[in-house]
A and B are shown apart, each in its own frame.
Chain A
């Protein structure tokens, strides 16, 4: 009875496979063809897209506001770097230390604040964003801390030591691809639907047995873990950590970009990461950062982000520009299929009931025909 989901149909799957293969080819071409600087920037972009994906999950799937994603990236970077320097963890596995640290801090912040109105999570995460650089400065000092290890590609890859950046790019991309694949799978299943239910109708979700608080807690911890993993991955191309990397503006900019570009898909995290990494490069290339006065203001990063935030707030009501595309698509889909499984079961039963009622009506009509014909005979 249920209509087939067009997003999981065979042509769409084939299209996804083709697009993924094309992207892989492009990534390989760029990694081998571009300058080391661009490849390093791309590695940073790919790593940060994971943190953005965590923010998209939080904002668009759970309807929660985190203003400390940049700080959680910093926590992951710190944990990964010190896991190698102080505990001798192999460099290949150091991002996992970031994942653990991010998950832990995310959960610590979420446990008290999620019991209260949503504003408290925003408040606590913003406090974390402001406090984190101060903590890092206190713990690690004013000077950057360098990673005690390097990334040497295995011989079978054919990547030489001079092309270390290529191997680093592949490592980062592999980590991100696997994580995004797993998280997207999770979000497409019952967990994702429960996330959406807890966002849109928390009371109804509770009535259906969805543990809203616990679900949100897992969501914030997962988002924190993704940010932490992104921080750990940033240490692969960057190789050093410094308190100036994670000012509170980073968290706010990340929130602005996730709000603007985030849609219902994790893939929409990529434009945010691209803008975050390449906008300053673009501004410096055009020599805009040194301009002062009103003209300088309009050409400054802060103004661009502020305009983006305000435009997102007004034009999309905080749902993001990708949502505009999604909502057009969903309007078409809504007619053909119910989204929630429980709803679809109810709809199925209603349709079955309607069919039976039609059958009963037909029977009654037949009987009445019989009765009327008998009456006529009498």
Chain B
């Protein structure tokens, strides 16, 4: 029982990252109908930005000398928040400059997001190289920073990451349901032409959607960097799980995508822990298989069938 509990605790931090990416992907898809395949790369790039801000001037880290004007190395929380803001600006810019002119053509839009994927990858590799770097966690990460519950260890940083992500995504839900901007966002995702006719500035709302999605991805990248370290391919695995989780939510429901993120992380940890021939690397394959089976059996994912039909 304690082993089961331990594995459940272990899945929390990864689950938060998968959930955040899944929410970001489904938010963009829901509002613009574009599958943003560069979501993971954007998060990876903003993690490097956080690293630059948190490191301070260093001969080993490009652009870190530029932070000199802002003072020495930033505290890690401030660095992550700074990266989130920069990422939001990049997200809004991407929507305005890259996606909007071709948003009527899905093939061209997917091509453009893939172009962005390659561009960010090339930029990061050329500027910071391919080696692994360490950002650290904004939460305490020493051996003693844990609670022992039922013989299992619950690490403070796992709880911190999970609660932060739940808090931020909860805030996002409140923003969507209780504010004018949220109402406008919901109206635009439901019917763009109708929204335009009642005076909602659709383009601005879509830009906000992209900015928020990029910000959530950046936050996920910054928080999870303490667990998996910073390197150019850090988001590949996370992107696959994020896409799988978004699929469980029918690609259109951020709430179900969030649940899907934790479900996949749980599944990943349990398969890796209890099935002898599956090691941590191959869990990705099994997650993929599970996704295919889910799509076979229930194409709408966790979304109720009637709602899935209505959203088509």
What is the interface of chain A, defined by CB distance below 8 A to chain B? 59, 63, 65, 67, 108-109, 111-113, 115-120, 122-124, 126-128, 130-131, 134-135, 137-138, 248-249, 252-253, 255-256, 259, 292-294, 296-297, 300-303, 305-310, 312-314, 317-319
Contact = CB atoms under 8 A, between A and B. Distances in A.
Contact of B126 (A115, A300, A306, A313): A300
Interface string B122-157: 110111010000000000000000000000000000
Contacts, number: 153
A127 B242 CA distance: 10
B109 A303 contact: no
A305 B123 CA distance: 12
Interface in B68-116: 98, 101-102, 105-112, 114-116
A348 to B, nearest CB: 34
A285 B123 CA distance: 22
Given A119-B251, A127-B240, A313 B288 contact: no
B121 A302 contact: yes
A108 B117 CA distance: 27
Contacts of A314: 101-102, 108, 112
A313 B115 contact: yes
Contact of B118 (A134, A292, A306): A306
A196 B279 CA distance: 44
A256 B115 contact: yes
A112 B295 contact: yes
B52 interface: no
Which secondary structure dominates chain B's binding surface?
A: helix
A88 B244 CA distance: 38
B312 interface: yes
A135 B282 contact: yes
Contacts of A122: 35, 37, 110
B43 interface: no
Contact of A119 (B29, B296, B299): B29
A259 B110 CA distance: 11
B114 A138 contact: no
B236 A309 contact: no
Interface in B271-300: 279, 281-282, 284-285, 288, 291-292, 295-296, 299
Interface residues of B, number: 47
B302 interface: no
B147 to A, nearest CB: 33
Interface of B: 29, 35, 37, 98, 101-102, 105-112, 114-119, 121-123, 125-127, 129, 236-237, 239-240, 243-244, 247, 251, 279, 281-282, 284-285, 288, 291-292, 295-296, 299, 312
B236 A130 contact: yes
B243 A252 contact: no
A128 B288 contact: yes
Contacts of B240: 126-127, 130-131
Contacts of B291: 124, 127
Contact of B312 (A117, A127, A297, A300): A117
Interface centre among B98, B126, B288 (most CB of A within 10 A): B126
A65 B110 contact: yes
A318 B118 contact: no
A130 B108 contact: no
Given A112-B295, A112-B296, A115-B299, 7 more contacts: A117-B312, A122-B37, A134-B285, A297-B127, A313-B109, A313-B115, A317-B108
Contact of B295 (A120, A137, A305, A306): A120
B35 A300 contact: no
B97 to A, nearest CB: 10
A138 B281 contact: yes
Contacts of B295: 112-113, 115-116, 120, 124
Contact of A67 (B114, B115, B237): B114
Nearest to B29: A119
Nearest to B312: A117
